Amino acid sequence: MTIKNIKLGKLKKRSEFLYVRDGRYQAKPNIVIQMRAQSEATEMINVGFTATKKIGNAVVRNRCKRRLRELARALLPLHGKPGHNYVFIARANTAKAEWADLQKDVEKALLRLA
């Protein structure tokens, strides 16, 4: 697979997250990924991150979002589909999981969604 020059955008508004929630999703032990085609297709991939209060305090939630952001930056240009929006949702052990396992989960989920 050739490495494409794909720009990553951010999801910022609640309505955008709700839009993606109605699309396809893949659940893994360490992470849940949702995906849905954009209503007006562009060359960009927009991505958002979710960490609920259930998984810990502010320190844990911020760490989860930072790790997810790093995963998205590394793997979405390789395995993501342009013109789609993605939402990465942290689970209870996202903060503690091994980095290699996280990478494996994300890769598998993205390939199955593609």
Partner RNA sequence: UCAGAGGGUCGGGCGACCGCCUACUUUCGUUAAUGCUUUGACGUGCUUGCCGCGCCGAAGCCUAGCGAGGGCGGGAGGAAAGUCCGGGCUCCAUUGAAGCAGGAUGCCGGAUAACGACCGGCGGGCGUAUUGGCAACAAUGCGCUUAGGGAAAGUGCAACAGAAAGCAAACCGCCCGCCACUAUUUUUAUUGGCGUGGUAAGGGUGAAAGGGUGUGGUAAGAGCGCACCGCCGUUUUGGUAACAAAGCGGGCAUGGUAAACCCCAUCCGGAGCAAGACCAAAUAGGGGCGGCAUCACGGCGUGUUUCAACGUCGCUGCCCGGGUUGGUCGCUUGAGGUUCUGAGCAAUCAGUACCCUAGAUGAAUGGUCGCCGCCAUUAUGCUCUUGGGCAUAAUGUGUACAGAACCCGGCUUAUAGACCCUCUGAUUUA
Partner RNA sequence: UGGGGCGUAGCCAAGUGGUAAGGCAUCGGGUUUUGAUCCCGUGAUCGUUGGUUCGAACCCAGCCGCCCCAA
x/- mask, RNA, residues 33-62, rule CB under 7 A, reads ---------------xxx------xxx--x
What minimum distance in Å lies between the beta carbon of 82 and RNA? 18
Residue 104 is a binding residue for RNA (CB under 7 A): no
Strands across the sheet with 45-50, in order? Answer: 8-10, 45-50, 84-90, 31-37, 24-27
List CB contacts of 65: < 8 A, sequence separation 6 or more. 49, 51, 90
Stretch that binds RNA, among 13-21, 26-34, 36-44, 105-113 (CB under 7 A): 13-21
Contacts with RNA by CB under 7 A: the residue count is 24
DSSP letter string over 87-113? EEEE-TTTTTS-HHHHHHHHHHHHHHH
User: Between 63 and 92, how does the x/- string for binding to RNA read (CB under 7 A)?
Assistant: x-xxx-xx--x-------------------
In the chain, count of helices (H) and strands (E)? 3, 5
Which residue number, 1 or 59, has a Cβ lying nearer to RNA?
59
Query: What's phi and psi for 73, nearest 5 deg?
Result: -65, -35
Q: Which residues bind RNA (CB under 7 A)?
A: 10-14, 17, 48-50, 57-59, 62-63, 65-67, 69-70, 73, 96, 98-100
